[in-house]
Amino acid sequence: MKSILEERLKELNWSHTASQLDDLVENASTHNVSYFDFLHTVVSGEWEHRESTELNRRVQRAKLPYTKTIHDFDLAFQPSLNEQRVNETLTCRYIANGENRLLLGPPGVGKTHLAIAFALEAITQGYSVLFLTAADLVAECHKAEAKGTVPRLIKKWTRPDLIVLDEVGYFPFDEFSANIFFQVISKRYEHGAMILTSNKSFIEWGKVFGDDVLATAILDRLLHHSVTFNIKGDSYRLKEKKKAGIYPAAPTAD
């Protein structure tokens, strides 16, 4: 009887419950659990297992370079950040509304960390996410061009609820990848949310994309429904070096 029940549970895709069957029955018997409570325990355990499995899958599909939450971010160290805007972004309403978040600032101020924290919160709330660096985007564009799969790549980047594009501005886009990026922006406009991090001010994006007109068209779509975070604080990395005594102190006058 037990083996038949286990097989039927597996056929119903309740493999987790099947693997826990002995412990569930023993616990119910030992504690004289009611039928209702036993059923609740079984269903809740299977539900939580599936939720956890799906969460892990979404994290893997997102291709985040590392996982850090907003709790790991020192907001006090970056007073230029508007905490209310940060908390509003963590609600993920901007994703449902097809809005964007642009994180600007010099290297080391926590742009990538903040973007990943926003992405992880979105994943936790059930949204699909894909993380790319600007270098990844350019490389994938040229791979797709060589294979003749550019339409498939654009569709791939249009599909997720949220795209995170990191390190825009660290090197210029070539004409081909800049145009692919514009197509992705256009297809996601007003229905697919994006987070971008950049070390360049918007006025410099003409140089980043190699074309002032194209940069203006990209910014027009990105900024229409967006919030921009201008992070003007010190570098976290230099802070840690100073704390460790590695970074030299400023010279004093004689």
pLDDT 10s digits, 78-90? 888 999 999 999 9
pLDDT of residue 211 exceeding 60? yes
pLDDT 10s digits, 2-56? 678 778 777 777 777 777 777 877 787 888 888 888 888 878 877 777 777 787 8
pLDDT of residue 97 exceeding 60? yes
**CB contact set of 64 (below 8 Å; sequence gap of 6+):** 116, 119, 120, 129, 131
pLDDT of residue 237 exceeding 80? no
Please tell me the predicted confidence (pLDDT) of residue 252: 44
* Residue 243 CB-density burial (10 A; 0-12 exposed, 13-18 middle, 19+ buried): exposed
pLDDT 10s digits, 60-73? 999 999 999 999 98
Structural contact between residues 104 and 229, judged by C-beta atoms closer than 8 angstroms:
yes
Residues listed for the chain? 254
Strand order in the sheet with 162-168: 129-133, 162-168, 193-198, 100-104, 226-230
Structural contact between residues 176 and 143, judged by C-beta atoms closer than 8 angstroms:
no
Helices (H), the chain: 2-11, 15-19, 21-30, 35-62, 83-90, 93-96, 111-124, 134-147, 150-158, 175-188, 205-209, 212-224, 236-244
pLDDT 10s digits, 164-177? 999 999 989 999 99
Residue 165 host element (H or E): strand 162-168
The sign of the CA dihedral 155, 216, 163, 144 is: positive
Please tell me the predicted confidence (pLDDT) of residue 1: 67
Cβ count within 10 A of residue 198: 21
To the question of domain 70-240 being in CATH 1.20.1560.10, the answer is: no
Instruction: Tell me the backbone φ, ψ of residue 229, rounded to 5 degrees.
Output: -105, 115
Domain assignments of the chain as residue spans, ordered by start: 2-61, 70-240
